[in-house]
């Protein structure tokens, strides 16, 4: 399992999610506000907003916070935000995609660039690493929803493309344009997901040893600390031995 999925497991293992919860909620709120601003404020009529709300619920974000974020859009807030993608290289030549949402492009670009430089990476041009990833929909379920065969059958019925099942849970992939339909069909069959979102799925990976992984974690942590950064994806591959030592 490459990049992002293992990364989520590292976060859970290290308890980083608890420390970052306020920051996570802030980033989710921003996504909800932007999605509501760009379309209809009713999640049932706005697929992007529906997915943003679903992801927020999966992260246990309180209902009040979700409603407040939608009201901000209706009240005219969030108008100045623009979405920007940065691409670069981290330790060991690992590819890194940084998705940001900002009201000050110059500030964000400067911060992202210096964060790469300070942590052994370098920012590249747009497209410099993007070709190593595919835009996909990702739906994550806990292992408790069923065995691999049960989830595989539900995923096939829902129109998904691929499933990765392990003791950590089930990760279901689909075409980016099908995420709304696939996640709705899966919900009817398997119940509420842990996570439903668009991701960059690596098509090629870079093998990392322990030292390189530790450096990469420092880079990703530093990038995620930035309030303008919504999500960081890498194409690392690491052995179970290396992962266990982190």
What pLDDT was estimated at residue 8? 59
Note the pLDDT tens digit of each residue in 137-166. 999 999 999 999 999 999 999 999 999 998
What pLDDT was estimated at residue 79? 66
What pLDDT was estimated at residue 20? 65
For 135, the 3-state DSSP assignment is strand
Note the pLDDT tens digit of each residue in 212-228. 999 999 999 899 989 89
Within the chain, all domains assigned CATH 3.30.70.980 are found at: 82-127+204-244, 132-202
Q: What is the DSSP letter of 118?
A: H
Flag residues of the chain having pLDDT under 70. Answer: 1-20, 78-79
pTM for the structure as a whole: 0.85
| Closest to 196 in 3D by CA, of 58, 28, 2 | 58
Within the chain, all domains assigned CATH 1.10.10.200 are found at: 6-75
The full DSSP string for 40-95 is -SSGGG-HHHHHHHHHHHHTT--HHHHHHHHHHHHTTTTTT-EEEEEEEE-GGG-E
What pLDDT was estimated at residue 80? 78
The helix or strand, by DSSP H or E, that contains position 178, with its residue range, turns out to be: none
| Closest to 89 in 3D by CA, of 117, 133, 119, 121 | 121
Q: What is the CATH number of domain 6-75?
A: 1.10.10.200
Whole-angstrom Cα Rg for the chain: 18
CATH superfamily of 82-127+204-244: YebC, transcriptional regulation domain (3.30.70.980)
Q: Which fold, 132-202?
A: Alpha-Beta Plaits (3.30.70)
User: What residues form DSSP beta bridges with 137?
Assistant: 174, 198
- Contact 237/205 with Cβ under 8 angstroms? yes
Note the pLDDT tens digit of each residue in 2-26. 455 565 566 555 555 555 677 888 8
- Contact 189/160 with Cβ under 8 angstroms? no
């Amino acid at each position: 399992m490459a990049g992002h999925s293992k990364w989520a497991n590292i976060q859970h293992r290290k308890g980083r999610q608890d420390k970052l919860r306020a920051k996570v909620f802030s980033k989710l709120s921003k996504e909800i506000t932007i999605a509501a601003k760009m379309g209809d404020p009713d999640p049932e009529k706005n697929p992007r907003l529906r997915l943003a709300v679903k992801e927020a619920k999966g992260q246990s974000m309180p209902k009040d916070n979700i409603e407040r974020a939608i009201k901000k859009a209706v009240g005219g807030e969030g108008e100045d935000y623009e979405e920007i993608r940065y691409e670069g290289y981290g330790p060991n030549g690992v590819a890194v995609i940084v998705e940001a949402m900002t009201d000050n492009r110059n500030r964000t670009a400067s911060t992202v660039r210096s964060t790469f430089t300070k942590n052994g990476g370098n920012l590249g041009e747009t497209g410099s690493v993007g070709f190593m990833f595919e835009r996909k929909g990702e739906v994550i379920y806990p292992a408790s929803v069923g065995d691999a065969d049960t989830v595989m059958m539900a995923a096939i019925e829902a129109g998904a493309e691929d499933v990765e099942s392990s003791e950590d849970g089930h990760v279901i992939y689909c075409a980016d344009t099908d995420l709304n339909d696939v996640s709705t069909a899966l919900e009817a069959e398997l119940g509420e997901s842990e996570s439903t979102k668009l991701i960059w799925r690596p098509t090629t990976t870079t093998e990392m040893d322990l030292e390189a992984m530790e450096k990469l974690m420092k880079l990703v942590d530093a990038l995620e600390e930035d309030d303008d950064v919504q999500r960081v994806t890498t194409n690392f591959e690491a052995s179970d031995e290396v992962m266990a030592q982190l």
